[in-house]
Chain A
Amino acid sequence: MTVWEEVRAFLTDPATWSGPDSIPARLWEHLWISVVAVVIAAILVLPLAVWLGHIRRGSGVASTVVNIGRALPSFGILAISFLILVQLGAGVGEPWAVLVALIALAAPPLFTNTVTGIQSVEASTVEAARGMGLTGKEVLSRVEIPLSTPLVVEGLRIATVQVIATATLGALVAWGGLGRYIVDGFARQDMGRLIVGAVLVGLLAVLAELGLGALQRASAPKGARRGDIGNPAQRSTV
């Protein structure tokens, strides 16, 4: 069978469209775990990051987080999370290990982008706001947070894309999601399953990247769309 025939065979199999191993079921698993992980990470991390940014501290912590995060492979984080949760009594095949790993992976980009985003608001802008009589809280809610929103959304984009990618590896620790098709495709030498799974995962990641990228551009306050908020994210890559 050619690859196309195998893909067609997989797509015309009734089990592909209904039941626990169907595309809708796997897509749903992949989506809910990704959204829940990003939301929990945001709830855990954003208040601290906003506060640290506001008092203009924590950029050292932010860069340390980035460096450590890069050296730890996401597959490794997932494996260690699985190891610890099974030790703690979680069942194999349950989503907890994957969820914990995804939260751990989503937190660093959200944290660093929020801290640097709020700190990148010009000191002169903050002084002007204070001069106009705004209190510390008002400066935060009406100046710093709106001006840093594009960077926070960028953090959200990076976190989400990474979470979607790593959720794919969940199949390697006995969980489901769309990665199941790829891992099973490799194991069973089922080319149709493998290719369909890979295309779905790739599409999901690219859609999240493009969608949140558009949101990022739209999230800049009207007065600040021409790059006057700076772009520390690009600068930091150099």
Chain B
Amino acid sequence: MTLVGQSTPLIDWDWVGRNLDQIVDRTWQHLGLTAISVLLGLVISVGLAVVALRWRWTYPPITWVTGLLYTIPSLALFALLVPIVGLNATNAVIALTSYTLLIIIRNLVAGIDGVPASVMEAADGMGYTRQGRFWRMEVPLALPAIIAGLRIATVTTVGLVTVTAVLGLGGYGFFILRGLNTFFWTQILVGVVLSVVLATLLDVGFIWLERLLSPWARRGR
């Protein structure tokens, strides 16, 4: 495929070859921003989910507030954080983390709620304490739902990291923005394709993780 009226191909492989170092750097940046945000999101979500499970009435307001956060467009949230934390990675991580909360909390609570009452009674009958039952019965049985939440949060975050290019970060989004500003199609394509590949790889990784962590699910089938 070539550009209309131009002799340069749509993908300039020479550019890719010359810029491998930069591509590797941006890969680490993309992975780093994603990992920190999802992990922070998980920690905060576990805290909020424990509160929501212990005091039921707190669940609707928690999902309402995290739902509103989820609604605010990323570009606007980055901008609103500038006067508070400045133009930096902290800004990006706060915004990206806040987008993961709704997804992870919902799946945590739904997962724990989905554990059948009969299993809980069996656990009680076997002499588990409340804490023992929670960690050794409820959490493992809720794992598929919890991991499903982490998967969605991770794939969504990989996409949103590209927008942090406006903060001078961006991971692969840096290439997209640079390519748009300079009309250099190779950079746009490299940025978009690598971002999709990264999201897909992490998605598949979570499927493996789930299989690894819930071997009983395989035996049953």
Give A contacts to B, CB under 8 Å: 3, 67, 70-76, 79-80, 82-83, 86-87, 89, 161, 164-166, 168-169, 172-174, 179, 182-183, 185-186, 191, 194-195, 197-199, 201-202, 205-206, 209, 234, 237-238
Query: In the complex the two chains form, what is the Cα distance from A76 to B30 in whole Å?
Result: 14
Contact yes or no, A164 B152, CB < 8 A: no
Give B contacts to A, CB under 8 Å: 3-4, 67-68, 71-77, 79-80, 82-83, 87, 103, 106-107, 110-111, 114, 145, 148-149, 152, 155-156, 158-160, 162-163, 166, 173, 176-177, 179-180, 183, 185, 188-189, 191-192, 195-196, 199-200, 203
Contact yes or no, B79 A198, CB < 8 A: yes
Query: In the complex the two chains form, what is the Cα distance from A179 to B74 in whole Å?
Result: 11
* Cβ-neighbour of B159 out of A76, A161, A185 (below 8 A): A76
Contact yes or no, A238 B80, CB < 8 A: no
Q: Which residues of chain A come closer than 8 Å to B111, judged between CB atoms?
A: 238
Q: Which residues of chain A come closer than 8 Å to B200, judged between CB atoms?
A: 71
Closest to A187 in B: B166
* Cβ-neighbour of A75 out of B72, B156, B159 (below 8 A): B159
Q: Which residues of chain B come closer than 8 Å to A186, judged between CB atoms?
A: 79, 87, 166
Closest to A82 in B: B180
Query: In the complex the two chains form, what is the Cα distance from A198 to B176 in whole Å?
Result: 22
Contact yes or no, B180 A79, CB < 8 A: yes
B9 smallest CB distance to A (angstroms): 13
Contact yes or no, A71 B75, CB < 8 A: no
Query: What are 12 A-B contacts defined by CB distance under 8 Å?
Result: A73-B199, A76-B196, A164-B73, A166-B73, A185-B79, A186-B87, A195-B79, A199-B80, A202-B73, A202-B76, A237-B149, A238-B114
Closest to A2 in B: B83
Q: Which residues of chain B come closer than 8 Å to A3, judged between CB atoms?
A: 83
Query: In the complex the two chains form, what is the Cα distance from A72 to B155 in whole Å?
Result: 9
User: Given A73-B159, A237-B152, A201 and B75 touching (CB < 8 A)?
Assistant: yes
Closest to B163 in A: A75
A133 smallest CB distance to B (angstroms): 40
Contact yes or no, B76 A74, CB < 8 A: no
B129 smallest CB distance to A (angstroms): 27
B84 smallest CB distance to A (angstroms): 9
User: Given A75-B162, A199-B80, A206 and B3 touching (CB < 8 A)?
Assistant: no
A18 smallest CB distance to B (angstroms): 24
User: Given A173-B180, A199-B80, A83 and B155 touching (CB < 8 A)?
Assistant: no
Query: In the complex the two chains form, what is the Cα distance from A197 to B78 in whole Å?
Result: 12
User: Given A76-B162, A238-B111, A209 and B75 touching (CB < 8 A)?
Assistant: no
A62 smallest CB distance to B (angstroms): 16
Contact yes or no, A191 B166, CB < 8 A: no
Query: In the complex the two chains form, what is the Cα distance from A231 to B164 in whole Å?
Result: 34
B173 smallest CB distance to A (angstroms): 6
B27 smallest CB distance to A (angstroms): 15
B21 smallest CB distance to A (angstroms): 23
Q: Which residues of chain B come closer than 8 Å to A164, judged between CB atoms?
A: 73
Give 3 nearest A-B pairs by CB, closest first: A73-B159, A165-B73, A198-B79
A47 smallest CB distance to B (angstroms): 29
A25 smallest CB distance to B (angstroms): 19
Query: In the complex the two chains form, what is the Cα distance from A17 to B82 in whole Å?
Result: 24
Contact yes or no, B195 A73, CB < 8 A: yes
Closest to B81 in A: A198
Query: In the complex the two chains form, what is the Cα distance from A54 to B142 in whole Å?
Result: 34
Contact yes or no, B192 A79, CB < 8 A: yes
* Cβ-neighbour of A73 out of B76, B107, B162 (below 8 A): B162
B172 smallest CB distance to A (angstroms): 9
User: Given A191-B83, A238-B111, A205 and B73 touching (CB < 8 A)?
Assistant: yes
B153 smallest CB distance to A (angstroms): 11
Query: In the complex the two chains form, what is the Cα distance from A209 to B70 in whole Å?
Result: 10
Q: Which residues of chain B come closer than 8 Å to A238, judged between CB atoms?
A: 107, 110-111, 114, 145, 148
User: Given A182-B75, A237-B106, A70 and B176 touching (CB < 8 A)?
Assistant: no
Contact yes or no, A70 B75, CB < 8 A: no
Query: In the complex the two chains form, what is the Cα distance from A165 to B95 in whole Å?
Result: 14
User: Given A70-B155, A83-B188, A87-B4, A76 and B79 touching (CB < 8 A)?
Assistant: no
Best-buried of B82, B111, B185 by chain A (most CB within 10 Å)? B82
